[in-house]
């Protein structure tokens, strides 16, 4: 019960970090499409890979860390949607 909220922390941090990453890509490249779509696509693909790999992890705490990382990565794209 006490560990179920840890992935939500990843979502919150991912949303905050995603905005900063998207802004940094925009400033560095000047390309709005790359800053939004590129960040979203890369983070979602890697995040889905983390979710899929978490299913094969036998140790609960290790799986929790990987699921939290996956939640963080998939929520990086939230800022790109606005």
Q: For 37-82, what is each residue's pLDDT tens digit?
A: 999 999 999 999 999 999 999 999 999 999 999 999 999 999 888 7
pLDDT digit string, tens, across residues 1-46: 789 999 999 999 999 999 999 999 999 999 999 999 999 999 999 9
Give this prediction's pTM: 0.88
Instruction: For residue 29, count other CB atoms closer than 10 A to its CB.
Output: 12
The dihedral through the CA atoms of 59, 14, 25, 22 has a sign that is positive
Question: What whole-number distance in Å separates Cα of residue 66 and Cα of residue 54?
Answer: 6
Instruction: For residue 23, count other CB atoms closer than 10 A to its CB.
Output: 13
């Amino acid at each position: 019960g006490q560990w179920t909220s840890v992935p939500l922390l990843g979502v919150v941090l991912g949303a905050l970090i995603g905005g900063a990453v998207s802004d940094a890509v925009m400033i560095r490249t000047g390309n709005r499409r790359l800053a939004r779509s590129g960040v979203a696509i890369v983070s979602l693909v890697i995040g889905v890979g983390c979710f899929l790999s978490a299913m094969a992890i036998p140790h609960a705490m290790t799986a929790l860390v990987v699921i939290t990382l996956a939640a963080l990565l998939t929520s990086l794209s939230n800022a790109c949607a606005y």
